[in-house]
Chain A
Amino acid sequence: MSGYDFDSMKVLVADDSQPMRSLIKSFLFGFGVKEIHEAGDANEGFELVRTEEPDIVITDWRMPPTDGLDLVRKIRMDMESPNPYLPIIMLTGFTELHRVKQARDSGVTAFLAKPISAAALYRRLCTVIDDQRPFVRVGKFFGPDRRSRRRSEPYMGAERRRDSQ
């Protein structure tokens, strides 16, 4: 039985922790990813998004003095972003519902709770590759549809859009 062929996938890993970046890189190399770029903060991350044009971004939330949400907003909204549809996996030790909503509302594609494992990262990559949700612009939000039935995880919040009422 064969699985996903990650050979041609370019990944950007943004995390202020060098050990975490190294661990994620090792996992990705093990999966077969050949091209991995790394950034220690959101600004460096966005610069690499512009210059290297990765296929997927894996970013930590907390990266003082900036954070992963800044990187997500820049990728989604900045005029200089080469790909506002870029799949983004957010790593976070925060698991409280209000934090999850905050990140979802910034436009992340998927979450991965820390501590991470190789199996969890593999599964999340596959989920993101298979994600067929459309993108939505509503108010200040631009990102994957937060309520689509095609999404892999059910939306649990209240229906707020006018066309749903």
Chain B
Amino acid sequence: MADRAQKFEPPNRLSRKIRKKGGPSPEQAILRALNAAEDLIDSYQGWAVDDLTALWKAYEESRHGTSPRDILKMFEIAHGIRGEGGSFGFQLISTIGDSLCKFLEGRKKLSAGESEVVKVHILAMRAVFKQDLKGPQPAIERELRQLLALLRERMG
């Protein structure tokens, strides 16, 4: 038998504390937020190099015989890159990171061919940074997404 639900009214609603008027307009608030984050966004590429270096190292290590742990490590780095890339203005990095996560998730080992798929993703990310392909790149993104999906399908 299913449990009966008990309902509760939260005692301190946030809507009672936060005024809906008196602050900057949404447009102003968002613009201020973007200005406040400007320097950070400019610094992102430097941080991303560390992630890419770690991903490359994990890939190199995995070539000597992959273990589920190696793959999890690569997945975790790729997952972080997927979330950060677009947040810092590099949409293509998130697109490539997303493809790599899809490829790695649930795998226990990688064949030599599958390992090459990982390498292609890392090289693609490097190329994006090298060419400074920042901001929305809808045409490239569409093509890249299709190509990586095809690669995953062929090699996966």
Smallest CB separation, A5 vs chain B (Å):
4
**Contact between A20 and B87 (Cβ–Cβ < 8 Å)?**
yes
Which of the segments A41-49, A109-117, A150-158 contacts the partner chain? A109-117
A79: Cβ under 8 A from any B Cβ: no
Counting CB contacts under 8 A, is B2 at the interface?
Answer: yes
Among B22, B33, B76, B86, contact of A114 (Cβ-Cβ < 8 Å): B86
Size class of the B contact interface (CB-based, 8 Å) = 35 or more
A18 to chain B: closest residue by CB: B47
Indicate if the CB atoms of A162 and B6 lie closer than 8 Å: no
Write out the residue numbers on chain B whose beta carbons fall within 8 Å of the beta carbon of A27.
33, 36-37
Mark A residues whose CB is within 8 Å of B.
1-9, 17, 19-20, 22-23, 26-32, 55-56, 60, 62, 64, 83, 85, 87, 91-93, 114-119, 121-122, 126, 128-132, 134-139, 145, 160-163
Complex Cα–Cα for A19 and B83 (A): 11
Q: A93-B101, A114-B82, A122-B30 are in contact. Are A5 and B37 (CB under 8 A)?
A: no
In angstroms, Cα B88 to Cα A138, docked, is 40
B interface residues, Cβ below 8 angstroms from A: 1-15, 17-26, 28-37, 40-41, 43-44, 47, 76, 79-80, 82-88, 91, 94, 98, 101
With contact pairs A114-B87, A119-B30, A139-B3 given, residues A132 and B36 touching in the complex (Cβ less than 8 Å): no
Interface centre among B40, B43, B87 (most CB of A within 10 A): B87
Residue of chain A at shortest CB distance from B6: A137
Say yes or no: A23-B40 contact (C-beta < 8 A), given A5-B21, A93-B101, A122-B30: yes
